[in-house]
């Protein structure tokens, strides 16, 4: 048996671009991805704190240090520039592994720059 747990959360970032003409996904500053341990093409959930929309897509890395959070393709219909979103990644593991697991939380400040990286207790 496996359980699904939160792997990482990039908490409270601001959408910097919404590009419907793109072929799907979300582009995220590579520094944010590295801090959260999220990989290129990894599945993520995006929760929009402004309109309540929740979607699933995959990640493409953006330019390091840019603060880029770009909703692409159909995802762009769920968030507009300036919206606040939370990006969540999940992982499957055994219940025994889950007992010791602590997800990563990445908090940001202005321009989607990393403020702190913490672990859930």
Query: What CA–CA distance (Å, rounded) separates 68 from 11?
Result: 14
Query: What CA–CA distance (Å, rounded) separates 71 from 53?
Result: 13
Confirm whether 120 is a catalytic residue. no
Q: Which tokens hold the place of 32?
A: 């944010």
Q: Which of 45, 53, 58, 101 is catalytic?
A: 58
CA nearest neighbour of 60 among 79, 38, 77, 81:
38
76: left (phi over 0), alpha (psi -120 to 50) or beta: alpha
Q: Which of 25, 66, 89, 101 is catalytic?
A: 25
Confirm whether 22 is a catalytic residue. no
Active site residues: 25, 58
């Amino acid at each position: 048996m496996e359980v699904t747990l939160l792997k990482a959360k990039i908490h409270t970032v601001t959408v910097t671009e919404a590009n419907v003409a793109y072929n799907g996904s979300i582009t995220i500053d590579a520094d944010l991805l590295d801090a959260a341990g999220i990989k290129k093409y990894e599945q993520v959930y995006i929760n929009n704190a402004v309109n309540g929309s929740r979607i699933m897509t995959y990640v493409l890395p953006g330019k390091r240090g840019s603060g880029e959070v770009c909703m692409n393709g159909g995802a762009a219909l769920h968030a507009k520039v300036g919206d606040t979103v939370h990006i969540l990644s999940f992982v499957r593991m055994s219940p025994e592994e889950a007992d010791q697991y602590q997800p990563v939380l990445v908090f940001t400040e202005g321009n989607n720059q990393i403020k702190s990286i913490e672990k859930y207790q």
